[in-house]
Structure 1
């Protein structure tokens, strides 16, 4: 991809994420007001997928403290007022969904309270259904999983067979 397209994509992604969010998904920055997270988690997910198809621990893409993450659906919100101004803010329908359309929102919680939320405005950062709910940090390893059309989506990696504990009633059989 030519450098000018990468630059335009980065500007587009950043601008789309700075658009107003509905009340259910307000903040792009940590709730404590720190500036520790200069760029978005979604942009890091997109960059990871562009480099490799290897699993990624979500904690390696964040610079703030969190206990669990979820992905929820929310209304897209209002359009940006400065769309296409000076040619720097693209207006593509995939980056600027109409108000009322449903988008995915990545949410991080700590001690039961939201510490970071971000709209997912690019298809390469979307999560597969069923959307992850309250996934503990220690289990937040993401892998690529294709949807029915073969489009790559993010999924939470399931534990391997050797990592899974046997059902409670069978533990006595293996000496556990």
Structure 2
């Protein structure tokens, strides 16, 4: 009896218990609710491959994407060049690190596109573009500043989707009926 007098009626304890329980449930729901803010594809849990983020963007949307939204490192400009494929990746297929499909393992002399990022004139990131959905259209971008690095989908002459820098001129095949042929 003395305890009840000190802390009030037994209904007080039930109310405190109920409020605590509701508070814990609310905290749990807040912690698991999806974020309402805009997310980029450069989340820490994602793969570190910029090309895989480009391919993922294309599967999600046809909208333009700023290359800065897909990168988690600091850079000033980017370029795409052609280089020999080099040796096949030795780590493919091990513990699910990399797939080993033939399209991802080109012949050693075959030319592939290479995406590079520069900062202060030095290369800070480089990746071979092995996925067809990650390829860039000709003319390949060279030293495109970060502020201008907005990519849009464009089509190759055979209909394949390619990446183009927004506002950049895309080369096309001459049309014989328009060019006097």
TM range (shorter): 0.5 to 0.7
Please say if 1:152 is aligned against 2:161.
yes
C-alpha displacement of 1:88? 7.4
Separation in 1, partners of 2:51, 2:96 = 23
Moved over 2 A (4+): 80-93
What secondary structure is seen at the aligned counterpart in 1 of 2:51?
A: helix
Scaled by the length of structure 1, the TM-score of the pair is: 0.65
1:70 alignment partner in structure 2: 79
What secondary structure is seen at the aligned counterpart in 2 of 1:42?
A: helix
Please say if 1:142 is aligned against 2:117.
no
Structure 1 pair 113–42 and aligned structure 2 pair: CA distance change class (3 A):
same
Q: Is the 8 A contact 2:85 2:111 kept in 1?
A: yes
C-alpha displacement of 1:128? 0.3
Higher relative contact order (CA 8 A, sep 6+): 1
Separation in 2, partners of 1:133, 1:101 = 21
Separation in 2, partners of 1:107, 1:82 = 22
Q: Which runs of 5+ in 1 are unaligned?
A: 1-34, 160-176
Structure 1 pair 58–79 and aligned structure 2 pair: CA distance change class (3 A):
same
Cα-to-partner distance string for 1:75-126 (whole Å, 9 max, x where unaligned): 1111133555688754322111010111001000011110111111100000
1:99 alignment partner in structure 2: 108
C-alpha displacement of 1:153? 0.2
Decide which structure has the larger Cα Rg and report it.
2
Please say if 1:46 is aligned against 2:49.
no
Structure 1 pair 150–85 and aligned structure 2 pair: CA distance change class (3 A):
same
Scaled by the length of structure 2, the TM-score of the pair is: 0.63
Separation in 1, partners of 2:48, 2:57 = 14
Q: Which runs of 5+ in 2 are unaligned?
A: 1-43, 169-181
C-alpha displacement of 1:64? 0.9
Residue among 124, 133, 140 paired with 2:133: 124
Structure 1 pair 92–63 and aligned structure 2 pair: CA distance change class (3 A):
same
Separation in 2, partners of 1:44, 1:82 = 21
CA RMSD of aligned residues (A): 2.4
Cα-to-partner distance string for 1:121-141 (whole Å, 9 max, x where unaligned): 100000001100000100000
